[in-house]
């Protein structure tokens, strides 16, 4: 009884404590957070913390610096993608996989086969959709993440080199992913297929599943969503709270905002197949979600997880201390990255079939 009374007194006093502090803006609206020092995350792994300590403070790009014409976008995409493309022969060697480029249902794909297939995955497949803000990291850059997951999980993978703007804006990426998926269904059941990717790849995986539901297709057995770009509008809280803290994306203004407008091509940014957060998640497959405390898209990730849980869907959320957007791909040898791949592998083994 005493504890209950004390709790009620604290709850009653809490609004007074907040009102008397200096945390709220004078008008009770937007907060103006003063400049402050941000140390490297002491509770992260030594590998991640020291890497962050060596990283100069990122400067958000200005919107006016982004390409303005289709020709400028094409040049930007070529340069940005080329800088991050690993030759396929090198990728095969470092990931201990074999990679074969093919056409499937009129779409370019990369078949990625690990040197050792896990016994649990003998008849399973990971359908991978790459990240890159829907504008970069296509071509031979596409299968890089698929090779990592194939190698660490022992699962055959197929990476979709979906069409992108400026030549092919929405819904080309969704259409290409669906076309490949429908072709795969001709030779294997849906519950033996996992779909997913990182960033725009995670968002595209969710959009594709929304589209599968619309078409009445059987749904995949599992989803991997690494820090998914699930809301292309400037709505999520961490687009504000982690601005300038995420050392990968840095800020929404700049590449993200420009890529969102280019991809949507005049459609509402909250269209459920563009920003899948606004779709119906009932009946979705079990999903594993990965993010970090410094991730600009942390809110996108947790908002999707909540929508899944509200529908009673299995949705495992893993948030790593100090990690920025897709940090598990950039610090591949860190404990955070190793744990990410282990969790994906375990999740697929548990939920496929």
Report the alpha-carbon distance of residue 237 to residue 243 in Å, rounded: 10
298-321 pLDDT, tens per residue? 999 999 999 999 999 999 999 999
The answer to whether 219 touches 97, Cβ cutoff 8 Å, is no
Strand pairing partners for 198? 226
The 3-state secondary structure of 80-121, one letter per residue: HHHHCCCCHHHHHHHHCEEEEEEEECCEEEEEEEECCCCHHH
For the record, the structure tokens of 99 come out as 């990679």
Domain locations in the chain as residue ranges: 46-351
Give residue 13's pLDDT: 43
Average pLDDT of span 281-293: 98
For the record, the structure tokens of 124 come out as 């399973």
Report the alpha-carbon distance of residue 174 to residue 172 in Å, rounded: 5
80-94 pLDDT, tens per residue? 999 999 999 999 999
The string over 119-144, giving b where at least 16 C-beta atoms fall within 10 Å of a residue's C-beta and e elsewhere, is: ebbeebbbbbbbbbbbbbbbbbbbbb
220-249 pLDDT, tens per residue? 999 999 999 999 999 999 999 999 999 999
Q: pLDDT tier at 16 (50, 70, 90 boundaries)?
A: very low
Give residue 9's pLDDT: 37
Give residue 249's pLDDT: 96
Q: What is the pTM of this model?
A: 0.92
The pairing of strands 287-292 and 222-226 is parallel
Report the alpha-carbon distance of residue 113 to residue 150 in Å, rounded: 7
Q: Biggest alpha carbon distance in the chain?
A: 71
Q: pLDDT tier at 209 (50, 70, 90 boundaries)?
A: very high
Token look-up 């698929």 returns 146
17-72 pLDDT, tens per residue? 334 444 444 456 888 887 889 999 999 999 999 999 999 998 877 667 889 899 99
Count CA atoms within 13 Å of residue 342 on its CB side.
7
Give residue 31's pLDDT: 87
282: number of Cβ within 10 Å: 12
Higher pLDDT among residues 29 and 295, named by residue? 295
The radius of gyration computed from the CA coordinates of the chain, to the nearest angstrom, equals: 21
Report the alpha-carbon distance of residue 40 to residue 100 in Å, rounded: 41
Assess whether pLDDT exceeds 50 at residue 294.
yes
Report the alpha-carbon distance of residue 155 to residue 84 in Å, rounded: 24
**Candidates 2.120.10.30, 3.10.28.10, 3.50.50.60, 3.40.50.1820; CATH matching 46-351:** 3.40.50.1820
134-147 pLDDT, tens per residue? 999 999 999 999 99
- Under DSSP, is residue 207 helix (H, G, I), strand (E, B) or coil? helix
For the record, the structure tokens of 95 come out as 């990931």
Report the alpha-carbon distance of residue 110 to residue 88 in Å, rounded: 10
Query: Which among 191, 203, 201 has a CA at the least distance from the CA of 236?
Result: 203
Cis peptide before 166 (omega within 30 of 0): yes
Give residue 176's pLDDT: 98
């Amino acid at each position: 009884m005493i504890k209950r009374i004390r709790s009620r007194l604290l709850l009653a006093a809490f609004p007074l404590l907040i009102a008397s502090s200096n945390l709220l803006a004078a008008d009770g609206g937007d907060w103006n957070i003063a400049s402050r020092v941000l140390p490297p995350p002491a509770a992260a792994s030594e590998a991640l913390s020291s890497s962050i300590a060596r990283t100069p403070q990122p400067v958000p790009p200005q919107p006016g610096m982004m390409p303005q014409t289709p020709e400028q976008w094409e040049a930007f995409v070529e340069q940005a993608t080329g800088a991050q493309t690993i030759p396929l022969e090198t990728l095969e060697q470092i990931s201990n996989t074999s990679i074969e480029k093919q056409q499937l249902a009129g779409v370019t794909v990369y078949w990625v086969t690990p040197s050792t297939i896990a016994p649990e995955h003998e008849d399973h497949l990971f359908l991978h959709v790459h990240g890159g803000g829907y504008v970069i990291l296509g071509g031979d850059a596409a299968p890089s993440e698929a090779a990592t997951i194939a190698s660490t999980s022992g699962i055959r993978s197929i990476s979709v080199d979906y069409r992108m703007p400026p030549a092919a804006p929405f819904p080309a990426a969704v259409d290409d992913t669906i076309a490949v998926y429908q072709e795969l269904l001709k030779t294997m059941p849906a519950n033996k297929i996992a779909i997913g990717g990182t960033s725009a790849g995670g968002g595209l995986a969710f959009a594709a599943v929304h589209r599968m539901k619309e078409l009445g297709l059987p749904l995949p057995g599992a989803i991997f969503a690494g820090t998914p770009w699930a809301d292309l509008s400037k709505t999520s809280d961490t687009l504000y709270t982690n601005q300038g803290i995420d050392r990968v994306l840095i800020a929404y203004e700049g590449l993200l905002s420009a890529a969102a407008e280019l991809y949507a091509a005049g459609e509402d940014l909250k269209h459920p197949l563009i920003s899948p957060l606004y779709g119906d998640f009932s009946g979705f497959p079990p999903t594993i979600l990965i993010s970090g405390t410094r991730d600009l898209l942390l809110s996108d990730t947790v908002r999707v997880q909540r929508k899944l849980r509200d529908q009673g869907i299995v949705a495992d959320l893993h948030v790593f201390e100090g990690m920025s957007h897709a940090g598990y791909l950039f610090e591949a040898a860190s404990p955070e990255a190793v744990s990410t791949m282990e969790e994906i592998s375990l999740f697929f083994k548990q939920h496929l079939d």
